[in-house]
Every structure is written in C-alpha cells, then in structure tokens.
Amino acid sequence: MRSLTTSPLMAPEGGGAMPTNIDTLCINTIRTLSMDAVQKANSGHPGTAMALAPVAYTLWRDVLNYDPANPLWPNRDRFVLSIGHASMLLYSLIYLAGIRDVRPGGVSNDRPALTLEDIEQFRQLDSLTPGHPEYHHTAGVETTTGPLGQGCGNSVGMAIAEKWLAERYNRPGFTLFDHHVYTLCGDGDNMEGVSSEAASIAGHLKLGNLTWIYDSNHISIEGSTRIAFTESVHKRFEAYGWHVLELKDANDTGDMRRLLAEAKAETSRPTLIIVHSIIGWGAPHLAGTAEAHGSPLGVEEVRETKKFYGWPEDRNFYVPEGVPEHFQAGIATRGAAASRAWDELFRAYRAKYPDEAAQLDHIFAGTLPEGWDSDIPVFDADAKGVASRASSGKVLNEIAKNYPWMIGGSADLSPSTKTHLTFDGAGDFQPPQWGGTYGGRNLHFGVREHAMGSISNGLALYGIRAYCSGFLIFSDYMKPPIRLSSLMKLPVTYIFTHDSIGVGEDGPTHQPIEQLAQLRATPGVTVLRPADANEVAEAWRTLIQIRDRPSVLALSRQNLPTICRKTYAPATGLAKGAYVLADAQGRPDVILMATGSEVGLIVKAAEKLKADGIKVRLVSMPSWDLFEAQPKAYRDSVLPPDVTARVAVEQAAQLGWDRYTGLAGETIVMHGFGASAPAGQLEVKFGFTVDAVVAAARRQAGKPA
C-alpha cells in the first residue's frame, strides 16, 4: 500500500485527477463523507476524520478482527473512538465495512447498521448518526463517547474484561478469548485526568491486549496546544509502563500497519502509538488550524479540498464504485472466517465444558445465574445494630459467591467500604508478578475514582456484572461515568459509604450533603439508601435484578439498629421504593418519613408521640425513583393526599423533599456542610434528635407541646 504525503500543498496521485489506487480511493471516501456530512449539518468536527482516515482505514481493513455480519461475536476486537467528536470517522467506517444492524441482546433489524442516507442525516433528530457515538443507538458503536477521556477509561475496562474472561474460561485447545482492544484518542483525551488515571492502572496491570492510538495534531479549540500542553506524552507513558511507538506521518499506511503488528506482538505491556497528523489534511486554507477542528469547512473550502484529493468537486456523499467491496474484502472476509471458526470452537467447548459454556451464555445475554440469591442473609432484630456498609459487605459476599462473573473493587477503600470478596477462590485481579491472577475477582483501582467508574463501564459492556466503591462524598469525582452508565443502560453498581454527617470527626470535607440530590436528579439511576441490615439485603436483591440502569447504594459508617420485623413491616417493601413501616389506627395525625440512618430516629420519635396520644404513620423511603415508578394508587396508599401533616428527616440537602412533604410540611435536613466532631454531637448541633422530630411532628399535627 502506498504512503500519502502529509503536505497539504502537494497534490495526491494523479496531480488532481481522480486517484486510481483503490486504497487511496477508500481513504478519500472516508474524508469526503466526513466533510460532506458536517457541511450539510452545518455542525460537527471534520478535521480529525480527514487527518486520521488513513490510520483508521489501515486498522479496520487490514488488522481489526471483526465480522460485520456478526457484530456481537464475543471474541471480536474492540474499537473505541474516545475522540467521540470525530464521530463521522466511525460512521464512515461502519458504513463502508457493511456492519449489520444487530444490537445488544441480539436484536437484528435485517438491514445495514448505516446507509448512505443515514450518513446524510448526520446530527439530525432521530437519526442513527448523532453528534457523538451512542451505544445501543447505532450498531457497531462499542461505547458511548464524547466526554474526553471516558473512552480511554472504558477501553481499560474492556482489556481487563478480556483478560478475566480468558483466564476464567479458556481451556487447553479452547482459546475462546484472545482479542485486542484499540482506542483512538487525541490531545484532549491526554489532557483529561481520567485518561491519566486509566493509563496508570493499565500500565500497572500490564494489559498487553490494549493499544491506544494517539492523534497528536497539536490543535485544540483555542488554537495550538502549546498554550497549555507542552509535556512529553511519550515519556509520560513510558513512565506508566507502556510500550510507546511513533508514526511520523499519519498518511504512511505501510508504517502504520507495521506499528500495529508490533503493538499486537507486545503482550506484556499496553501500547501507545503516537500518530503525528495534520488536522484537516488537504484543506488548502484550514489544514493545521483550529478552524478545522469543530466547525464545517465551508462550501468553497470543501470544493477546493475535494479538488486537492482529485475528487469530483460538485458531488456530495460520493462513494466510488468498488470502494465498499474493497474495504469489506479485508475486514469482512477476515472477520467472517474468524467468527465461524470461533462458533465451531464454542460448540465443541460446550460439549466438553457445559457448565462453563452455560455461564458464558448468561454473560453474553446479561441474565442471572440460578440460585444467585439463595444465601442472602436475614438479620435478627438488634437495638445496637450494624453499619449498613458492614451488612452490605456480608450480603455482597453471599451473592458474589453464587454469581461467578460478578467482579469489582474500590478506590483504595475496601477496608472501609467492606467490598472485598473473601470467599474461597475470589482472589485479586493482578498480573502474576504482582502476586495475583487475571482471573481474580477483587479489583484494586487505587486512589483513582474517576477511572474506576469508567473502567467499570468497560467491564459492564462485556456482560460482566461490575461494582465499584468509595465514599459518597467522592461520587463527585465520578459524576461523568455514572451519567454515562445511565446513558448506556449499564447495570453497574456504585457502592458509596460514609453517607452522612455520621462520618463524624472527618468533618465537612468528608460529609456528603448535596450528593444524594445530585444522584437522584440523574435520569436512569436507581438510588437506594437502606435503613437497616434487612433493607440492605432487600436493596441488593432488588438492584441485582435491574439490567438496564446503574444503581447507587448509599451506606452508613455508623451502626444502625436492626428493626424488629415482627413489630414493623417487612423490609421487602423496599422493592417499591417506599413503604409504610408502621401505622396508627385510623387516619394518622402526622406522617414521618426518612431514609437510611434517620429511619431509626423517626422510629424513636414515633414511640414518644404514640405515648402522647398522637397517631403517627412511619414511612421508610429508601429509593425515590423506585417509588415514583409505582402506580399512583400505591403511592397514594403510602402518602395519602388528604394527610398533609408531614415531616421528612434526612442528613442531606433539602432539595426534592417538598415533593413528598408538600409546601405545608416540614423537613429536618442539612443546610450547610457539617462540622468536625463525634457523630453524636453533630446530630445534636444540626437538629437530628428525637426531641426535634417530636416538636416538628406536633406542629404539623396541630398539637404543640
């Protein structure tokens, strides 16, 4: 394959005539489709697609092990476009490769994933070509990208997943998993902190199945990256323990193919290929400028660029005869043979290893193993109780031992979050030289919360049931991956402990206040704040069965009394988000509602009010979103509209509680950031006492003391 010059001033083959080299035709088709789509939409990012077309073409046509007719084939190579703004590059590849419209879950619409008409609808309402690639939305897109650095983190999770599956399920003569993960990233990705966190842990884990291709074009929105980014990325990645290669000319397809082979051959380290490119290559006035990054080139510049490529200047969305066929003669021919061979291998594997094959069936389908919940404990009533982080740790271990592909860990906090799996055979996911195995189920993310979230998304994209953990206050570091979990409908479990001012002496920097409101406000995230050990057990029983969205568990550091379920309603009510914990005879004078650690407080207050002849309904509200999903009749049965005397108690921000208290109700909540003191003193200082709840209830009931 010939090399193309990087000079925007030198004409391509033929001196302005239509190229005759089929590879050049394919590459320029990618470029011009990208230019035309952005121009028609009057929105988008053409320059990166123009610059990287030779790189992406070489990877897809000549190297990527991928079957366009079977895009969910489990041992396919993964391609992640972390520079999601260059989405037209990926859409052009999907179109030319002939990927079929097969979605997660195996749903096939018996059509190409993208047609030329779809590409013409780039960035339009309800099109299959949105501004940034979206998982589930467009077949061939392996993960939702756009927020820079997230795709890098996802790819590390994918590489971990491949290593784990290979270690757990490969057998002599049955290599089911041996694929590679490729990520296209840019200057922006490498400026974002999450990619640094992800690269650091990838180097530590020696993920030799991972290659990042770094488009070093030295241009960002504000202009040259020299204004803010002058480090040696090469040296930084070498320090991380990566294998670093450089492609001096983005158009040198032969050298790119050689470097990809070298990256694949390096099995003990991840590889970074630094590609030196000119953004907007071929544009006579805008190549190498910031203007080529995030705006259409303009009608005249597009015309002149096509002239430089030797392209018909007045033809838009032009695909020369033979281009798709040549593209597919590489990727489709290679991929079809590989996927057929894999299917045959898996059939033989199923005959010899039926139990392991059955587990893989569940992983691929996203279904649960039989008996996953058979050992979930029931906790006896106990006034002293146990911290919900501790009861959660017990429940997690009982579930995970019966759920073989459930893996996860913490950001250096498992002794505090109680998320370490301790049963026989759990083990640590580490390279053998660090004393572990790639089949271990305990992940050690280090103090890297942001990467932990994006890595967990990458794991979940493989069908592995991923969880991760930290302190609730540090969910602030994880907002982007939690949001993307929801966008992608991934059932990642986020376990956050130290969920209130009950943290105590660590003070306001560690006491979460607004975090619950933020998480509850995120669409498609189920937030659960259980009140005692049995609500914890039911929270796990509920969230494990959720397959289409992430869940957040907010758990206490301090002990919570284990409520006597002979006296009070069973904890199974948690599945409906809120339930009547205890009720009075007849119409209640006041409703007391709370979540988590504050449920025990309203229980004590109710006992005092009852002794004074005040009729109280107690409502535990561990999950607002699950409650809102219930029929109105159920919601009204828990919170009768005609009972407006209401008090809500939660050691968090007030935002949202008026939905349940009404404007006439009262809230006992946090209005500041807490303080450093023992938890008991903080409860008094901020009004979380039995007397304060009783006084508020009396006011609401019209029976002041």
Residues with active-site annotation: 449
The strand ranges marked E within 525-662 are 526-528, 551-554, 559-562, 579-582, 590-594, 616-620, 646-653
Give the C-alpha separation, 597 to 544, whole Å: 23
Give the C-alpha separation, 531 to 563, whole Å: 9
The secondary structure element, H or E, covering residue 396 is helix 388-400
Q: What are residue 653's phi and psi, to 5 degrees? A: -65, 155
CB atoms within 10 A of CB 507: 15
DSSP 8-state symbol, 174: B
Q: Classify the phi-psi angles of 489: left when phi > 0, otherwise alpha if psi is within -120 to 50, otherwise beta.
A: left
Cα 658 vs. chain centroid, distance in angstroms? 31
Which tokens belong to 418? 């109680």
Give the torsion sign (CA, 506, 507, 509, 514).
Answer: positive
Contact 332, 93 (CB under 8 A): no
Give the C-alpha separation, 218 to 47, whole Å: 12
Contact 34, 318 (CB under 8 A): no
Give the C-alpha separation, 338 to 359, whole Å: 22
Which tokens belong to 272? 């970074």
Which tokens belong to 693? 């709840």
Which tokens belong to 401? 């031992």
Cα 183–Cα 35–Cα 81 angle in degrees, nearest 5: 10
Which tokens belong to 165? 């599956």
In 3-state terms, what secondary structure has residue 109? strand
Q: Which of 6, 94, 83 is nearest to 44 (CA)?
A: 83
Single-letter code of the amino acid located at 356: E
Which tokens belong to 397? 């271990």
Owner of token pair 């030319």: 96
Cα 96 vs. chain centroid, distance in angstroms? 28
Give the C-alpha separation, 515 to 526, whole Å: 14
